[in-house]
Amino acid sequence: MFFLQLALSGLAQGAIYALVALSMCVVYRATTVVNFGHGDLVMAGAFVVYLLVVLAGLPFPASAIAAVALLFILGALIEIGLIERIKAGPHIGFALMCIAVGYLLRGAARAVWGREVLPMPRVFDFPPVMLGELVVTADALVIFSAVGVLLMLFFGLFYRTSAGRIMQAVCQSERGAALVGINVRAFHGVMWGVGAAMGAIGGVLVAPLTLLHPGLGAGFLIKGFAAMTLGGFGSLGGAVAGGLLLGVAEQWVGGYVSTKLIDITAYLVIILVLALRPSGLFGQAVAERV
């Protein structure tokens, strides 16, 4: 029972990691830029939903959707306004631009709520469901269903619809896509928007669970990296699988080995995977062309 309970909580936790990793992977696949400030977008999503629920008094579902929309716009603006403008600069500049944007978001949240630790009102208040001895909490159920629906939506859109095919085309070769008349710049903006929106959904799902403080996002960045690396950098399915695996691994390590190791499970995963199998579980090795 202990084993299954840990796995169950691990999956709930892993679902959030999967969502964050997938949103980072979408941005990477579409624009070859890894968003080192992504954790703060998750935090921004949580704060926006708090603002709408507590200050504006909107019901949770409405404010959740509004928050995701706002973050979509923010993500697109970041790409078009900032990332696109430094395309000519040194390649390393992208990483710092993402970090700077994240730091600016954290600073802005700090300036307004620096001293507050904000509680979100309880949203899903039905008691936990008992599966035999296994306890499935309301929050876990919500996260599972939300992430599940999202993944089906995303992969359906990505592989089934024409918009999805455009996305795949640009992911494979930007120049090729541009040649056939796809507006690559707008596409990058859209994909950053999608990434930011999905990150915000992660924030929205986590908000009721934990308390909101500007430093909320930092942890998610490293967990997202570990999930992407485990699943194979750049592989969308891999990011999801990696996230779920990481969540479960953390709980098992905590349950069976030592709770002190939970914190560094992500780091160990990154180092082990890159040492043993750099392309991760589902990724392809990056061939260096002469």
Partner 1 sequence: MKPFVHLLRPCIAIVAYALATTASAADTAGITDTAIKIGVMAPLTGSGSSYSKAEIGLDAYYKWVNDQGGVNGRKIETVLEDYACDSTKGIAAVKKLIHQDKVFMLHGNSCSAVAMAIKPVVLEAGIPWVIAHAANGAISSPATKNIFHGVPVGKTMGLAMGRFVMTKPGVAKVAVIQHTDDWAKSYCGPAMEFLASQSIKPVVEVALERGQTDATAQTLRIKQANPDFVIACLYEAETAIFLKDAKKFGLNAPVMGTAGTDLENTLKRVGDLDTVANYFVPHMYADNLDGPRLKRFVDILKKYYPSESVTAFSLISMGGGAAVVEALKRSGRDLSREKFIAELDKTRDFDTGVLAGRITWTAADRDGVKEVGIAGFVSGKPTVLKAWGQRL
Partner 2 sequence: MNGQTPQHALAHRALGTRVFYAAPLLALVIPLFANPYTQFIVNLTLVYVLVTVGFNLVLGNLGQLAFANTALFGIGAYTAAILMAHAGWPFWAAIPPAGAAGAAAGFLASVTALRGIRNYYLAIVTLAFGELLRWSYIHGEALSGGTDGLTVRHADFFGIALESETARFYVFLLIVTVIVKAVSNLMRSKIGRAIVAIRDNELATASLAIPTGRYIVLAFTLSGFVVGIAGSLFAVLIGQVIPESFGLIELILHFAMVLVGGLGSLFGSVLGALALTALPEFFRPFPGLYEMFFGGLLIVFLLIQPRGLSALCAKRWPALRDRYYRER
Binding site for partner 2 (CB under 8 A): 28, 34, 36, 82, 85-86, 89-93, 95-97, 99-108, 110-111, 114, 218, 222, 225-226, 229, 233, 260, 263-264, 266-268, 270-271, 274-275, 278, 288, 290
Among partner 2, partner 1, none, what binds residue 105 when CB lies within 5 to 8 Å by partner kind? partner 2
Q: What is the distance between the alpha carbons of residues 200 and 205, in angstroms, rounded to a whole number?
A: 9
Among partner 2, partner 1, none, what binds residue 219 when CB lies within 5 to 8 Å by partner kind? partner 1
- Min dist CB 38 to partner 2, Å, is 13
- Min dist CB 154 to partner 2, Å, is 22
Secondary structure element (H or E) that encloses residue 69, with its range:
helix 60-77
Q: What is the distance between the alpha carbons of residues 243 and 265, in angstroms, rounded to a whole number?
A: 12
181 neighbors 45 (Cβ within 8 angstroms):
no
Q: How many CB atoms lie within 10 A of CB 97?
A: 20
Pick out residues in 213-272 that bind partner 1 (CB under 8 A).
213-216, 218-219, 250-251, 253-255, 258-260, 262-263
Q: What angle do CA 204, 37, 55 make, to 5 degrees?
A: 35
Pick out residues in 50-109 that bind partner 1 (CB under 8 A).
107
> What are the phi and psi torsion angles at 136 (to 5°)?
-110, 110
* Binding status of residue 128 toward partner 1 by CB under 8 A: yes
The residue among 124 and 159 lying less far from partner 1, judged by its C-beta, is 124
Among partner 2, partner 1, none, what binds residue 262 when CB lies within 5 to 8 Å by partner kind? partner 1
Largest Cα–Cα separation, the chain = 61
243 closest CA partner among 198, 186, 185: 198
Residue-by-residue DSSP string for 177-223 = HHHTT--HHHHHHHHHHHHHHHHHHHHHHHTTTS-B-GGGGHHHHHH
- Interacting residue with partner 1 among 92, 117, 287, 290 (CB under 8 A): 117
- Min dist CB 191 to partner 2, Å, is 17
* Binding status of residue 210 toward partner 1 by CB under 8 A: yes
228 closest CA partner among 270, 268, 189: 270
The one-letter amino acid at 110 = R
The residue among 186 and 211 lying less far from partner 1, judged by its C-beta, is 211
The footprint of partner 1 (CB under 8 A) covers 2, 5-6, 9-10, 12-13, 16, 107, 110, 114-117, 119, 122, 125, 128, 135, 137, 206, 209-211, 213-216, 218-219, 250-251, 253-255, 258-260, 262-263
